[in-house]
């Protein structure tokens, strides 16, 4: 008898220890899992911590992006996750309320092909109609109109690229579901447009946050415990993926992947990490959140009982120990020019990480400009300092006065024969606008225009541009050919020099970095 009691005692002790460990881990708080591993493996690891109730027919709610959108979750990651853990699942989407690449089902299908979402079925849920789901406890809605096919699923995995948002301040799981499951003609109109208004986006700020959140509540109440959430904090522009190639430059550091079965805890953890970053790292994102009243998403989710804002953050990279949001923010690697690649003038991909540890001088150039003789000064700088670690990179551009009309081959020949250029030239590209080279967009976002300085040439440039656009100086972008950006050995831009500054005037600044 004693051995049996002894065995039972051991089992009971072990069970109590397990329960105690579980309580200690959670303390009644929601759990958010965190990994710095931004890869398919990291995505799988984060998902597998929160997939216990995902069963039956599964829909994966994912923003598949506008055509060639640069910031969406990588397809290869999603494919690996679905092949390992979500066999037979469908990606689920709805058409957009704005006229773009996904406005109609036909356009949406074409965009899915362009973006490579072809490895599994994609269900455009409102392609054949809509359905109504009740909104319990809402002040704006009693019901929400969603894509009809949402009702065909038993469980939903919410896979979200966390980023800024032009209207919502930030786009997390709440935005992904609230806007992304509402159908493109009725539900989205209820969220965005005041009744009787001719202005499509007439609802904004706190009312928009509340309407969007009530839409989310309708969907997650429908799935009950059979819904889970993963947020990927990578390539976080302040723009939504709906803006595609027109999205503002990414300046916020990449963080990692977070997951939870609590939507409020997850979105709040992501926002808290953004706020825990250094000022220079998060200022653009925080400004976007606060000017759009985005934090109302979190407080309204709490008021509606959609989750808890009291959570613990569990570090999957270090044995599951608890960490603070400051710990997570400290893990962020500051974004640098080494994050970017661009096309070289022979069509080859140039990884700017190949120049890590060098001092870079990045210049947008043109062959038929009054400033074209600056090629001589740029080459002189390159020859004088290249052995000490300077690299000059030319980015030919035809946006200013049509002064770079030639092909890449013609540009290279002109530079070599007329100015003896030996420093690397990239492929011709835009530096402003919706098709701007991401390298240049990133540089002028961090180092905005601050005037042409003094002198007659500066006065001429100001008068010429003011005539075309009296407000030109308020825009941070590049104003003319031969704008120069000086990059330190850590890949950070330290100075911007307008075309009115001759290359030889940069020597002191360059020497200080070498």
Closest C-alpha to 175, from 271, 85, 246, 80: 271
pTM: predicted TM-score of the whole model, two decimal places: 0.81
Specify the DSSP element, H or E, that contains 394.
Answer: strand 390-396
Q: Can you read off the two tokens belonging to residue 365?
A: 């150039």
**What is the DSSP secondary structure assignment for residue 195, as one 8-state letter?**
T
Confidence of residue 186 (pLDDT cuts 50, 70, 90): very high
339 catalytic residue (yes or no)? no
Cβ distance 199 to 211 under 8 Å?
A: no
Confidence of residue 26 (pLDDT cuts 50, 70, 90): low
190 CB burial (10 A radius; 0-12, 13-18, 19+): buried
What secondary structure does DSSP assign to 104-173, as a single string?
SHHHHHHHHHHHT--SS-EEETTTT-EEEEE-TT-SS-SEEEEEGGGGG-SEEEEEEE-EEETTTEEESH
Q: Which residue of the set 26, 68, 136, 418 is catalytic?
A: 418
- Give counts: helices (H), strands (E), the chain: 16, 19
What is residue 426's three-state secondary structure?
strand
pLDDT (0 to 100) of residue 264: 98
Name the residue ranges covered by the structural domains of the chain: 25-330, 337-513
308 CB burial (10 A radius; 0-12, 13-18, 19+): middle
Tens-digit pLDDT profile for residues 403-413: 999 999 999 99
State the pairing for strand pair 390-396/484-487: unpaired
Taking phi over 0 as left and psi of -120 to 50 as alpha, with beta for the rest, 16 belongs to alpha
Task: Output the CA torsion 330→336→338→341 (10° steps).
Answer: 120
201 CB burial (10 A radius; 0-12, 13-18, 19+): middle
Q: Can you read off the two tokens belonging to residue 145?
A: 């109109």
Whose structure tokens read 């027919």?
57
Tens-digit pLDDT profile for residues 77-92: 999 999 999 999 999 9
Mean per-residue pLDDT of the chain: 92
pLDDT (0 to 100) of residue 333: 78
Please give the CATH superfamily to which domain 337-513 belongs.
Answer: Glutaredoxin (3.40.30.10)
How far is CA 508 from each of CA 296, 324, 381, 385, 497, rounded to the nearest angstrom?
Answer: 49, 43, 11, 12, 13
pLDDT (0 to 100) of residue 25: 45
The pLDDT of residue 127 is above 70: yes
């Amino acid at each position: 008898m004693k051995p049996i009691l002894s065995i039972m005692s051991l089992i009971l002790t072990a069970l109590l220890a397990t329960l105690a460990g579980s309580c200690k881990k959670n303390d009644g708080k929601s759990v958010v899992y965190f990994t710095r591993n931004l890869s398919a493996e990291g995505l799988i690891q984060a998902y597998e911590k929160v997939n216990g109730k995902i069963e039956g027919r599964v829909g994966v709610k994912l923003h598949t992006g506008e055509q060639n959108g640069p910031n969406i979750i990588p397809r290869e990651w999603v494919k690996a996750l679905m092949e390992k853990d979500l066999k037979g699942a469908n990606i689920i989407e709805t058409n957009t309320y704005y006229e773009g690449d996904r406005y109609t089902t036909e356009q949406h299908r074409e965009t899915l092909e362009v973006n490579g979402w072809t490895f599994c079925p994609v269900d455009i849920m409102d392609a054949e109609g809509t359905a109504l789901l009740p909104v319990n406890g809402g002040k704006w809605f009693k019901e929400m109109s969603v894509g009809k096919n949402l009702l065909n699923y038993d469980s939903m995995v919410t896979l979200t690229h966390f980023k800024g948002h032009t209207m919502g301040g930030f786009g997390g799981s709440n935005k992904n579901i609230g806007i992304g499951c509402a159908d493109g003609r009725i539900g989205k109109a209820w969220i965005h447009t005041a009744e009787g208004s001719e202005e499509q986006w007439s609802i904004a700020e706190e009312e928009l946050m509340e309407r969007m959140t009530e839409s989310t509540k309708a969907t997650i109440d429908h799935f009950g415990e059979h819904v889970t959430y993963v947020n990927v904090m990578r390539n976080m522009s302040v723009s939504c993926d709906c803006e595609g190639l027109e999205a503002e430059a990414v300046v916020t550091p990449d963080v990692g992947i977070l997951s939870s079965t609590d939507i409020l805890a997850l979105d709040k953890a992501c926002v808290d990490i953004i706020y825990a970053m250094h000022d220079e790292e998060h200022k653009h994102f925080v400004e976007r959140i606060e000017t759009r009243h985005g934090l109302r998403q979190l407080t309204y989710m709490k008021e509606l009982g959609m989750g808890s804002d009291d959570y613990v953050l569990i570090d999957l990279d270090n044995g599951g120990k608890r960490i603070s949001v400051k710990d997570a923010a400290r893990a962020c690697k500051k974004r640098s020019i080494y994050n970017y690649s661009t096309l070289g003038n022979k069509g080859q991909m140039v990884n700017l990480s190949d120049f890590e540890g060098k001092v870079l001088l990045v210049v947008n150039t043109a062959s038929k400009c009054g400033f074209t003789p600056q090629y001589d000064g740029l080459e002189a700088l390159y020859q004088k300092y290249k052995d000490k670690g300077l690299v000059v990179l030319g980015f030919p551009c035809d946006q200013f006065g049509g002064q770079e009309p030639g092909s890449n081959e013609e540009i290279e020949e002109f530079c070599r024969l007329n100015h003896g250029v030996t420093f690397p030239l990239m492929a011709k590209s835009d530096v402003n606008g919706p098709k701007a080279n991401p390298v240049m967009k990133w540089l002028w976002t961090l180092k905005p225009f601050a005037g042409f300085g003094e002198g007659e040439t500066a006065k001429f440039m100001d008068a010429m541009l003011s005539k075309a656009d009296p407000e030109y100086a308020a825009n941070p972008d590049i104003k003319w050919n031969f704008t120069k950006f000086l990059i330190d050995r850590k890949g950070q831009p330290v100075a911007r020099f307008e075309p009115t500054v001759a290359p030889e005037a940069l020597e002191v600044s360059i020497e200080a970095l070498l």
